[in-house]
Amino acid sequence: MRAHALSAAQLDEPRLDTLDVGAGTGFATEGVIAHVDAARVTMLDQSPDQLRRAQAKPALAACRKVLGDAEDLPFPDDAFDRYVSCGSIEYWPDPERAIREAHRVLRPGGVAMVAGPLPPSGRTARWLADAWMLFPSRSDYVGWFEAAGFDDVRVVAMDAPWGSSAGDGGYAVAVAGRATRNGAPAPSPNETVGERADEPWTARRLLRFAAGSLAGALFVPVGIYMNLRARRAPERSA
């Protein structure tokens, strides 16, 4: 799955300056450095703890580690040839803004690839998913890329590691596009959407927090149960 997603990023040359956003402990980055010189790879994450764990991996020692926010990248315009992000978009409060940032930091002709989930198919799973995290549709991903100024936008569908195909025609997608000279204007610092850490703890926020936490806790076991049930159904009807 990792190799499939990364193939959309066109890591076809070892000297590509590459940014991995939401790099975490570096699972996707390990796939990137199979194609690109590690010293040309920058890992960005908002979590110091994740970056510390990445730092402990000898294979990633040469990669630059930067603490920062996908929606407000601490890099100048036109700094990279490639932008990759795997399994992080679902945590971003304003993905459209983050993808504009991807375009801003890429040189014209550079390629961005974002891999993320699709909405699950079952009604219960979809409800839990929506209460918990972001599960964008294919058209959301493509729309954000196009609005940011990318052209040649492509979608690579990915099946679940356990083999079932769910939701919007798949389990996850890798969406890639080529940066142009006509990017959307850089997001302004005042332009924030989504959650604020300093939002007061009203009853409504507490309820939202409790519902989101419960949905997150239930999502995996419910998903496993529904998957097993779907697998057994054809066996039973055979």
Ligand X SMILES: C[S@@+](CC[C@H](N)C(=O)[O-])C[C@H]1O[C@@H](n2cnc3c(N)ncnc32)[C@H](O)[C@@H]1O
Q: Which stretch binds ligand X (CB under 6 A): 68-76, 134-142, 152-160, 188-196?
A: 68-76
**Selected binder of ligand X within 37, 69, 78, 159 (CB under 6 A):** 69
Site stretch for ligand X (CB under 6 A), options 4-12, 39-47, 75-83, 204-212? 39-47
Q: How far is the CB of 23 from ligand X (least distance, A)?
A: 5
Residue number with CB closer to ligand X (19 or 111)? 19
Among 74, 18, 68, residue whose Cα is nearest residue 47: 68
Among 7, 10, 47, 124, binds ligand X (CB under 6 A): 47
User: Measured from the CB of residue 64, what is the shortest distance to ligand X in angstroms?
Assistant: 15
- Residue whose CB is less far from ligand X, 93 or 119: 93
Mark residues 83-102: x for contact with ligand X by CB under 6 A, - for none: ---xxx--xx----------
Give the residue among 74, 54, 75 at the shortest CA–CA distance from 63. Answer: 54
d(CA 137, CA 139): 5
DSSP state of 196: -
Q: In the window 7-36, what residues touch ligand X (CB under 6 A)? A: 22-24, 27-28
**Which residue in the shown chain puts its C-beta closest to ligand X?**
24
Listed ranges 43-51, 132-140, 183-191, 209-217: which one lies at the site for ligand X (CB under 6 A)? 43-51
- Total of chain residues touching ligand X, rule CB under 6 A: 17
**Sign (positive or negative) of CA dihedral 80, 81, 87, 93:** positive
The answer to the question of residue 50 lying near ligand X (CB under 6 A) is yes
SS3 sequence, 55-121? HCCHHHCCCEEEECECCECCCCCCCEEEEEEECCHHHCCCHHHHHHHHHHHEEEEEEEEEEEECCCC
Ordered strands of the 151-158 beta sheet: 64-67, 41-45, 18-21, 80-86, 106-117, 172-178, 151-158
Contacts of 122 (CB under 8 A, 6+ apart): 166, 226
Least distance CB 50 / ligand X (angstroms): 4
CB nearer to ligand X: pick between 72 and 152: 72
Q: Quick one: 91 or 228, whose CB is closer to ligand X?
A: 91
Q: Is the Cβ–Cβ distance between 4 and 174 less than 8 Å?
A: yes
105: closest CA among 146, 73, 150, 136? 73
Q: Which residues bind ligand X (CB under 6 A)?
A: 22-24, 27-28, 45-47, 50, 69-71, 86-88, 91-92
